Amino acid sequence: MTAHQAWAVAAPMAKAADDGARLTLITSGLDLDRQGCSRTWDFLFYLPNRTLTMMLSLEPDPQSEELEIGPVIVTTRTHKASSSDSARPAFPDRFRDSPDVVAELSAHGVDFVAGPSDMKLEGRMRSSGDAVWVTYYWDQEFIAAFSAMTG
């Protein structure tokens, strides 16, 4: 799945749980490929109206014969939110899809084919308040913009 394909499942579930749900973490699994696809994606939401955090983890159904095209299983974990959870900055709901980000990172030297076998893509909020996509390649951090440029 790409980030947008996983988001299409996770976002409505979060909004159904709390219409004020805010995305505070997004990360692929450690199997991110050169097409920007991962078998697993995790999304953490802060639910302000319920004072909870909700982690939605998406993965292929292990019972399916076709993991690549089979159904997706969503595991939901909720916990009482802390004051630090409520203070976490939220990511924008509109963001660049993982194939676009992987293509940009590849153009900057990240090798998603012959590189480390445990590569992932994760969203991170910088101290400046900007959201970015991050991956690590041979102990070096590579960053790409989280949101698409507008204008």
Provide the number of structural domains found in the chain.
1
- Write down the pLDDT at residue 68: 63
What is the domain extent for residue 44? 3-145
Domain annotation covers residue 151: no
From first to last of the 151 residues of the chain, give the pLDDT tens digit.
999 999 999 999 999 999 999 999 999 999 999 999 999 999 999 999 999 999 999 998 877 676 566 688 999 999 999 999 999 999 998 999 999 999 999 999 998 888 777 889 999 998 888 999 999 988 889 999 999 765 4
Domain annotation covers residue 150: no
Domain annotation covers residue 55: yes
- Write down the pLDDT at residue 151: 42
Using H for helix, E for strand and C for coil, what is the string for the chain?
A: CCHHHHHHHHHHHHHHHCCCCEEEEEEECCCCCCCCCCCCEEEEEEECCCCEEEEEEEEECCCCCCCCCCCEEEEEEEEECCHHHHHCCCCCCCCCCHHHHHHHHHHCCCCCCCCCCCCCCEEEECCCCCEEEEEEECCEEEEEECCCCCC
- Write down the pLDDT at residue 83: 93
Domain annotation covers residue 139: yes
